[in-house]
Amino acid sequence: MSAITVTVEATIGSTIRRDGVPDAPSDAEQDDARGAAGWPVGKCRVADTLGDDGRPVEALVLMREPAVAGADVRAWPVGVLHLEGPQRAVDEVLCVAEAPCFADLVDVSDLPRWHAEPEVWAVALSRLSRGPAYRVAACGPVREADDLLSAAHHTHLQLTGCLE
């Protein structure tokens, strides 16, 4: 799947960072908002999609810098976080913003090297979301994210009358 556009709802700091990266940013990263702990994560909605619940597909996006609510960000899917809650199961697409610093984070097999295991994403999600806490049931690969987004985009086109 190619890059997608997500609309930011909120961002927080995280502990997601790549192994071997010093605490101090390099000259090329001086303008980045990466703190000593990690890069920001945004809670977003994927443009032009409709999920099973009739709402846009939700995504968590690792970013170079925090974005204000309502900002559109280009991102690449890297996996799907399958969550179970008290009322329903939820799938959140895991993404990285388009930026050279995230070029080696392309699938769930890369998450451990970035200290971005599913539980870390779930902690970020719980800090970003109001309502009941969700438990991580599983984490799917980028192929699964692509399938979910393709189906949700197709549903959006059908319901908006753009698809025959």
Contact criterion met (CB below 8 Å) for 79 and 94 = yes
Please give the average per-residue pLDDT across 98-107, as a whole number: 93
The dihedral formed by the CA atoms of 77, 156, 84 and 88, expressed in degrees to the nearest 10: 170
Convert the pLDDT of each residue in 52-81 to its tens digit.
888 899 999 999 999 999 999 999 999 999
Residue 40: phi and psi, rounded to 5, are -70, 150
In the chain, the percentage of residues whose pLDDT exceeds 70 is: 83
Contact criterion met (CB below 8 Å) for 152 and 46 = yes
- The confidence score (pLDDT) of residue 18 equals 86
Convert the pLDDT of each residue in 9-63 to its tens digit.
999 999 999 876 544 344 444 445 555 679 999 999 999 998 888 889 999 999 9
Tell whether the model's pLDDT for residue 90 goes beyond 60: yes
**Distance between CA 91 and CA 81 in Å, rounded?**
6
pTM: 0.85
CB within 8 Å of 160: residues ≥ 6 apart: none
- The confidence score (pLDDT) of residue 129 equals 83
- The confidence score (pLDDT) of residue 133 equals 78
Convert the pLDDT of each residue in 111-152 to its tens digit.
999 999 998 998 898 898 877 778 899 999 999 999 999 999
